[in-house]
Chains A and B, each alone.
Chain A
C-alpha cells in the first residue's frame, strides 16, 4: 500500500451543474453540496456599519502612538519607589503603568489588524486543491534510480572496504566526543563518594549551633516539645558554594521530647541527652529540608512531598514516599553543657543513590 502513497484516495468527483458533487465512493452516502456561500457581512450590507468598523480599526491604530508616548514619559518621569494600591494589590507604579501602556499598545495593533481582516477585507472563501503528500510514482522511481546510479558511480560494489572503513571511522569518532565530556565532574568512585556524599562536617565534639545566629545550644535551655534548626559550628569556616554543599548535608533539627513518651532502641541509648534528639534535616526522599514539626505526635513532615517521620521512634517513615528513616546524629553535652556531636552520621544523609549501602539504616523494630 505504501508505494502508492496517498493515491488510494478513491473519491471520484464529478461536478454537476448545480455545484453539487456526486461522489461514487460508498464511504460518503451524501452528495457534497459544495461550499455554501455565507450571507453578506453586516459591514458589507450596512454602509454605516462599514464606516463604524473603519473608524474602529483606525481608532485602534491611532491610540498606539498615544500609548507609546505615554510609555516613554512614564519610563523617565515616574520614580521607581512610588506605589499604587488597587484593592488588596500593591503595585510598583512605574512597573504597572509601563506594562499597561505597552500591553495596550501592542494589543490594539492586534485587535485593529484582526478586525480589519474580519470586517473590512474581502471575505470570499476560496477553495484550493490539495495534492497527496507523496510524489508521483515516476518521480519516486527516478529518485531511486539516481541513488542507485550514484552508488554505482562510487564503485562501492567492487571496493566494499571503503564504505565499511568509513562507517567504522565515523563510529569511532564517538569515543573522542564522549571522552571530552569525562571531566564534566569528578568521578564518584568509592573513594570520592566517601569524601563527598557519604560524609558531613559533623564529628566528635562539634558543637550544635542555631542555624541563623550560630549560637551554641545549651541543653538546659531546650524545653520539651521545642524544635531548633541547627548546623555544625564549623560550618562558618565555609563560604560560597562550599558552604552550600556542606549545608546541604549537615543541616539538622534538634528536638526535645519527654523520654517516657518516646521509644529509644538499645543501640541508640547513648545518642540523646535527656530526650534531646538530633536528626538530619535532609529528607531521605529527594533531599528537601524537613521542617514541619507536629509537636504532639512527634511527627516531622516534609513540605515538599509530605513524607512523615516519627522522631519519637528513631525517625522511621510513617507516611509518604520516603523509604528510609531519617539518619540520627549521636549527641552529647560538653563540659559547659552545650550540645555536641559525638561522631558524624553513621549512614549517608539525603536521598538514595545506586551505590548506597542501605543495610545499616534503622528500621522500625531494630534494637
Chain B
C-alpha cells in the first residue's frame, strides 16, 4: 500500500552520529533478522515503519483510547463468552445469589448471574467489559470532535472520516446489542423499545419486526441473534474498518498542529521505535489499568437488582446506556404525532426521532467534508491542523451540534432531572421541544462571534505584540501600555491557517458565492507581509491600529511587493 519513502531524517541526521561498529547487540540481532527477512522481507518494512515519525499532542490520544478500549473489549468479551449462554430457554435459577433462587429466568440471565457471583473474577471482567464499552463510544465521540474541530477530515482524509463515522454508528449498534444480552429487566425494556422503533418504520415495519424477533416480541431467538451480531458480525466489521482506518492513518502520516517548523510537507515528532512504542504501548496499559480499576470499584449494571425480564414490569428511571441517551430524549420530548390513513398507521412520533434522527446524524457527519469543500472551494491537501477559531463557521456548526445533542440528552433524563431539581416533568419536556431548535441557533451565533473575537486577538498580537503590563504616561498625560513583539515562531503559528479565495471570486456561481460569503466572509484576513512590516516598524506608538481594518476577505491582495519580515522581530 505505502510506497517506500526516503526519510528526510537520513539527510538531517547530525554528522556527529557515531559510526556503526557492530556491537554485541547488533551481532545477536543479525541472525534472527536474517532468518525472518529471508522469509518475509521484514527488514524492508522495518526500515520504513520503525522510524516513522508521529507528532505529539494530548488530543491525538483520544483515538488511541478508542482503539485500546476495543482491544480490552475483545479480551474481556472472550472471557465472558466462556460462560455466557445465549439462550432464552426458561430455567430455575439455582446459583449463589440467594434473592433470586427458585425464580424462573432465562438461561442468558442465569449465566450472567453465574458470571457475576460464581465465577471468580467474573464480575470484574463483566464490569470492565461494560465500562470499556462506555469508554469506547465516548472516546470515539471525543476523537471525532477533535478531528472535526481541527479540520483533520479535509483532503486527503475524507475516506478515513467516513470510515470513522461508520465505526461510530456500528459502535452504537454493537453497544446496544451487548446491553440486551443479559436479558434482565432493563435490557428487556430496551429491546421492547427497539421493537416499537422497528414497528414504526412505514410500510415494512411489521415485517422487519417479525423477521428480527422471529415473530411477536420477544420471541425465542432475539438473544441468540443479537449474540451472533455482538460477538461475530459487528466486531468482525469493526475490526476490518479499524484496520483500514489505521492503514490510511499510516499512509497519510499523522496531521500536526501548526507550529515553528511545521508545514504541510513535513511531520515533526518522535519516531515510532522506540519512543512511540513505549508511549503508545504504555498508554494501552494505562487505559487498560484504569478501566480495570473502574470495574473493580465502580458498580455498573447490577442486573441482579433488576431481576429477569418480565414484559409486564418496568422500573422508573429506566435509561439506555449514555450514548443512546440523546435518541431516548428525542423520543421522550416528541409530540404524539401519528397519521391514520385508511387502515394504516404512520408513527411519526417514534419514526422521526428514532430512525430519522439516527440517520440524520450519520448522514450529516458523513457528507460534511464534501459540504465544506464545496463551500470553500478548497481542493488542496491539508496536513497542518486548523485551530478551531480559524474556521469560525465550522466551529460554530460543531458547537451547535453538541448543543443539540446535549439538549436531547437532557431530555433523555427528564424524569431524573424533574425529581432531582423538583421541577415539572411536563415543563421540562415542553421547553426542550423548543430548545432543541433554538439552542443550536443561539450556540452557532455565539460561537461564531467568539471565534472571530479570538481571531482579532491573534491579529492584535501579530500587529502589536503582546501586552507587557508596563503602563507609560506620556508628557501630555496620556497613558499607554507597552507592547512587546511576539516571537517569529508564534507569528508563524498564528498565520499558518488556511485562507480561502478572496470574495468575490471568479468562476463560481452566484449561489456558491453566497454560500462562501456566509461560510467564511466574516473571517479575519491574515495580515500581509507589508502590514506586518509596517506594524513592526512603527513599533510601539499605539496609534489606534486595532485590527478592525482587516476584516472581510478579498481586500488588497493584489499588488503586494516582495516583503521580508524584519529579523529584529525575534
Contact = CB atoms under 8 A, between A and B. Distances in A.
Interface of A: 1-2, 5-6, 8-9, 11, 13, 20-22, 26-36, 75, 80-81, 89, 91-92, 94-96, 98-100, 102-114, 116-118, 121-123, 125-135, 181, 184-188, 192-193, 196-197, 211, 229, 231, 239-241, 243-245, 247-249, 251, 281-282, 285-289, 291-292, 303-307, 317, 319-324, 350-359
B119 to A, nearest CB: 10
B232 to A, nearest CB: 17
Contacts of B310: 244, 247
Given A31-B488, A129-B6, A320-B429, A110 B282 contact: yes
B473 interface: no
B285 to A, nearest CB: 3
B192 A110 contact: no
B550 to A, nearest CB: 12
Contacts of B336: 285, 307, 317, 320-323
A184 B224 CA distance: 13
Interface string B237-275: 000000000000001110000001111111111110011
Contacts of B532: 29-30
B312 A29 contact: no
Contacts, number: 396
Nearest to A27: B499
B361 interface: no
Contacts of B266: 127-130
B366 interface: no
Contact of B53 (A29, A34, A127): A127
B309 A244 contact: yes
B386 interface: no
Contacts of A304: 189, 193, 314, 318
A106 B285 contact: yes
B527 interface: yes
B314 A354 contact: no
B94 interface: no
A151 B414 CA distance: 62
A324 B336 CA distance: 8
Contacts of A6: 155-156, 380-381
26 contacts: A11-B265, A20-B488, A26-B557, A29-B565, A33-B489, A36-B261, A96-B296, A106-B288, A109-B282, A117-B282, A127-B8, A128-B266, A131-B3, A133-B251, A133-B381, A240-B90, A244-B311, A286-B197, A289-B314, A292-B316, A306-B332, A306-B429, A322-B336, A351-B196, A351-B199, A358-B338
A196 B215 contact: yes
B316 A103 contact: no
Interface in B176-231: 189, 192-193, 195-197, 199-207, 209-220
Interface string B314-353: 1111100000000010011111111010011111011001
Nearest to B429: A306
Nearest to B348: A323
A-B CB proximity, top 7 nearest: A99-B296, A107-B289, A286-B196, A113-B282, A110-B285, A35-B261, A323-B338
Contacts of B415: 303, 306
Given A31-B565, A135-B3, 8 more contacts: A28-B496, A81-B96, A100-B293, A107-B289, A126-B9, A181-B211, A184-B210, A321-B349
Nearest to A304: B318
Chain B interface size, as a band, is 35 or more
Nearest to B214: A185
Interface stretch (B120-128, B143-151, B439-447, B449-457): B120-128
A243 B284 CA distance: 46
B422 interface: no
Contacts of A35: 260-262, 268
Contacts of A303: 314-318, 415
B5 interface: yes
A319 B424 CA distance: 12
Given A109-B282, A113-B278, A114-B282, A130 B312 contact: no
B9 A128 contact: yes
A352 B218 CA distance: 16
A107 B276 CA distance: 17
A323 B347 contact: yes
Contacts of A113: 278-279, 281-282, 285
A60 to B, nearest CB: 10
A291 B429 contact: no
B253 A98 contact: no
Interface of B: 3, 5-9, 12, 51-53, 88-90, 96, 117-118, 120-121, 123-124, 127-128, 155-156, 189, 192-193, 195-197, 199-207, 209-220, 251-253, 260-271, 274-276, 278-279, 281-293, 295-297, 309-318, 328, 331-338, 340, 343-347, 349-350, 353, 379-381, 383, 414-415, 425-426, 429, 487-489, 491-492, 494-496, 498-499, 526-529, 531-532, 557, 560, 563-565, 570
B350 A286 contact: yes
Contacts of B340: 358-359
A126 B271 contact: yes
Contacts of A357: 343-345
Given A128-B52, A351-B195, A116 B278 contact: yes
A32 to B, nearest CB: 6
Contacts of A92: 123
Given A80-B117, A117-B279, A127 B212 contact: no
Contacts of A251: 311-312
A105 B289 CA distance: 7
Given A32-B261, A98-B296, A286 B192 contact: yes
Nearest to A283: B196
Given A98-B120, A184-B212, A287 B217 contact: yes
B461 to A, nearest CB: 12
Contact of A289 (B206, B312, B350): B312
A241 B218 contact: yes
Contact of B253 (A128, A185, A186, A281): A128
Given A287-B192, A304-B193, A323-B338, A354 B261 contact: no
A351 B200 contact: yes
Contacts of B217: 245, 248, 287
Nearest to B191: A287
B349 A104 contact: no
Contacts of B117: 80
A91 B124 CA distance: 12
Contacts of B9: 126-128
A78 B314 CA distance: 36
A247 B218 CA distance: 10
A104 B350 contact: no
A351 B289 contact: no
Nearest to B489: A33
Nearest to A64: B285
B296 A103 contact: yes
B349 A99 contact: no
A56 to B, nearest CB: 13
B286 A354 contact: no
Best-buried of A30, A31, A106 by chain B (most CB within 10 Å): A30
Contacts of A9: 264-265, 380-381
B194 to A, nearest CB: 9
Best-buried of B118, B123, B210, B488 by chain A (most CB within 10 Å): B210
Contacts of A22: 564
